[in-house]
């Protein structure tokens, strides 16, 4: 790691908090399970709320279960500088995904307060609810709620135990009735900054501790359900079967081949969840449901691949006598970081004696939704072997310190801008 001329954040305090939060929902030695709106999530929110208050912020939980901390400025009507990420996790996750963005942002505000930094607009730190989307099969819930972009059926989505998001919100302590009186005020937020581990191997391959994000790939999430006909595995001839699992397997293989057709493209496709009915070794599968996650920074290329995949599903279904349904769970276009924020990060990094490489993000983040209401920028922190969504996820204290220091310097510079944010 480069030697910093002067580190202004309190690195010891930051890393102590990272490790303390990691004990909530801990699995094994290094893993974390804090599913959105779970009791572990609530416990984590309460702990992080106490740190916001310790940092001099007013803290509250909004109707969408977002935790919000506010450092008041001298001009309440001026645009807000927002910092943050999320603290919910995957069921088999690590301690750095999302968490360093929230705790790093709190450290930024705490240092600004300790230094008596004055600013016009408010500075807000947000721990967004349910960024991951693994519990209710649709992510970015809190940030979409805050920005007025929820869909009609959001509260009726159920987890694997049949509990709806509405019920989970009520158990968490939020009242979904509060959604009705909420409306997002356009222009309220001037800029959003997010610190996050890379969740990929690029920075490590370049031997670089931090990077500046250029944009976020657009994720397309589909749920495909194929229906055939169940029968005895020993008596129905192969030529007479309507095997939904066999059809699903052909589609999954075809998806893998489609996304690898252009080796130089950053396209990725994943089937991460599959359910078989009736799920017996000697019954021909009648119904199979599986998820598709298709991502690309090039929307035209992604759309073309989606069309080919839909054609594959149609052809395979006809071949095996199956019917099918396709539900679109998420469809976001690629979103690019604001040039003026990237330039701010470049200049502040130069003052620190580092030149971070610039790279795109394959995973989506809360920044993806924020990009529709304000300019945004992201800082990536190197993670070991690119591992994430896994207890082996690891980012070194030195790298996290460097990323948080850049976040601090950029936030201080942006908050000090006179006459508002660049358009």
The C-alpha atoms of residue 29 and residue 36 are separated, in whole angstroms, by 21
Whether the upstream peptide bond of residue 278 has omega within 30° of 0, thus cis, is yes
List residues forming the annotated binding site: 86, 97, 132, 196, 389
**Cα 34 from chain centre:** 14
List residues forming the annotated binding site for Zn(2+): 86, 97, 132, 196, 389
The C-alpha atoms of residue 147 and residue 64 are separated, in whole angstroms, by 10
Buried b (16+ CB within 10 A) or exposed e, 197-213: bbbbebbbeeebbbbbb
DSSP state, residue 22: T
Quickly tell me which residue has 């970015």 as its tokens. Answer: 140
- Among residues 21, 192, 45, the alpha carbon closest in space to that of 97 is found at 21
Q: What are the backbone dihedrals phi and psi of residue 120, each rounded to the nearest 5 degrees, phi first?
A: -80, -65
Kindly give the pairing relationship between strand 26-27 and strand 58-61.
unpaired
Asked if residue 295 lies in contact with residue 219, where contact means CB atoms within 8 angstroms, the answer is yes
- Helix ranges (H only) for 238-396 are 244-259, 299-320, 339-352, 366-370
Q: If residue 50 lies in a helix (H) or strand (E), which one and from where to where?
A: helix 39-54
The C-alpha atoms of residue 126 and residue 85 are separated, in whole angstroms, by 7
Q: Using DSSP, state whether 316 is helix, strand or coil.
A: helix
Which value, in Å, is the radius of gyration of the alpha carbons in the chain?
A: 23
């Amino acid at each position: 790691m480069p030697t910093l001329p002067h580190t202004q954040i309190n690195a010891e305090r930051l890393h102590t908090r990272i490790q303390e939060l990691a004990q909530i929902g801990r699995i094994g030695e290094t893993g974390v399970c804090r599913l959105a709106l779970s009791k572990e999530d609530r416990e984590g929110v309460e702990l992080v709320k106490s740190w916001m208050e310790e940092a001099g912020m007013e803290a509250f939980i909004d109707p969408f279960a977002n935790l919000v901390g506010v450092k008041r400025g001298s001009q309440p009507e001026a645009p807000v500088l927002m910092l943050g990420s999320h603290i919910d996790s995957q069921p088999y996750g690590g301690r750095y995904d999302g968490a360093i963005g929230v705790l790093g942002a709190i450290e930024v505000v705490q240092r600004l307060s300790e230094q008596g930094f004055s600013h016009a607009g408010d500075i807000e730190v947000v721990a967004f609810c349910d960024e991951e989307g693994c519990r209710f099969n649709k992510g970015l819930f809190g940030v979409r709620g805050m920005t007025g972009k929820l869909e009609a059926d959001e509260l009726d989505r159920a987890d694997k135990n049949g509990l709806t998001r509405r019920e989970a919100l009520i158990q968490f302590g939020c009242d979904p009735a509060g959604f009705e009186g909420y409306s997002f005020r356009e222009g309220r937020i001037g800029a959003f900054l997010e610190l996050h581990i890379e969740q990929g191997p690029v920075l490590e391959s370049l031997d670089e501790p931090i990077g500046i994000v250029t944009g976020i790939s657009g994720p397309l999430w589909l749920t495909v359900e194929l229906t055939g006909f169940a029968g005895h595995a020993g008596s129905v001839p192969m030529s007479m079967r309507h095997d939904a699992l066999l059809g699903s397997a052909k589609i999954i293989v075809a998806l893998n081949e489609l996304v690898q057709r252009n080796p130089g493209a950053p396209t990725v496709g994943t089937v991460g969840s599959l359910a078989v009915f009736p799920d017996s070794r000697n019954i021909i599968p009648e119904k199979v449901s599986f998820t598709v996650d298709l991502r690309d920074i090039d929307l035209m290329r992604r759309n073309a691949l989606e069309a080919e995949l839909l054609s594959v599903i149609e052809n395979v279904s006809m071949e095996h006598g199956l019917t099918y349904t396709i539900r679109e769970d998420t469809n976001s276009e690629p979103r690019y970081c604001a040039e003026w924020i990237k330039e701010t990060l470049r200049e502040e990094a130069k003052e620190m004696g580092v030149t971070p490489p610039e790279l795109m993000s394959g995973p989506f983040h809360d920044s993806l939704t924020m990009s529709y209401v304000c300019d945004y920028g992201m800082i990536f922190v190197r993670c070991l072997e690119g591992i994430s969504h896994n207890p082996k996820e690891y980012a070194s204290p030195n790298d996290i310190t460097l990323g948080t220091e850049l976040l601090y310097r950029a936030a201080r510079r942006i908050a000090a801008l006179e006459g508002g944010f660049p358009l």
